Amino acid sequence: METKFLLVLTTVENFLISHQISKILITEQLAACCTIIQNGLSVFFWDGKLEERKENLLLIKTTEDKYKQLEQRLRELHSDKVPEIIAVPIVNGLEDYLGWVRDTVK
């Protein structure tokens, strides 16, 4: 069976928590790599009012087989009541890199 790869995105308000979440996902082999992009600005409606906050974007590389476990773990670790967790299929990529992702999350 062919491995399907995902790029999972989530945002976290606090950098230290972003870093901690990343290390846990890697250590538990739910992700091969987490990239943290700092200081994005999110603008959104929540509870009927306009909100803005600085956030860190996590780009999480994993496989489709690990997604449900990764989603559950993110929900446990995340401080937001309804965290942003979005999975985007990776349709192409450097074969050596994708092989490394597959081997890392086994």
Q: For the domain that residue 13 is a member of, what is the CATH number?
A: 3.30.70.120
Write out the residue range of the structural domain in which residue 11 sits: 5-104
Mean pLDDT of the chain: 96
Number of folded domains in the chain? 1
Given strand 5-12, what is the order of strands in its sheet? 33-46, 49-63, 5-12, 86-90
Q: Per residue of the chain (106 residues), what is the pLDDT tens digit?
A: 689 999 999 999 999 999 999 999 999 999 999 999 999 999 999 999 999 999 999 999 999 999 999 999 999 999 999 999 999 999 999 999 999 999 999 8
89-99 tens-digit pLDDT: 999 999 999 99
